[in-house]
């Protein structure tokens, strides 16, 4: 069984892990032209996968008006 000390450490580790994931996605969203707070979606199960695909394939507001670039290959 887990005692109170283990549970508190588990919550701390979850918070640290969330920060490790959210901070880079916050910056990616800002650079893409989206509000940085959308990076918080990365801690929501299933929503994070959908959002990641959206970021990968959507036209970013920061790149609107630029000439399209050729893909690999």
1: DSSP letter: -
| CA 25 to mean position of chain CA atoms | 4
pTM: 0.71
pLDDT tens per residue across all 73 residues of the chain: 555 555 678 889 989 998 999 999 999 999 999 999 999 999 999 999 999 999 999 998 988 776 666 556 5
**DSSP string spanning 14-72?**
HHHHHHHHHHHHHHHHHHHTS-GGGGGGGGSTTHHHHHHHHHHHSPPGGGTTSPPPPPP
For residue 37, the model assigns a pLDDT of: 94
């Amino acid at each position: 069984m887990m005692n109170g000390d283990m549970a508190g450490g588990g919550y701390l580790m979850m918070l640290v892990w969330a920060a490790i994931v959210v901070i880079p996605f916050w910056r990616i969203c800002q650079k893409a032209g989206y509000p940085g707070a959308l990076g918080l979606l990365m801690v929501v199960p299933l929503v994070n996968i959908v959002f990641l695909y959206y970021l990968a394939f959507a036209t970013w507001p920061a790149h609107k008006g630029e000439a399209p670039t050729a893909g690999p290959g």
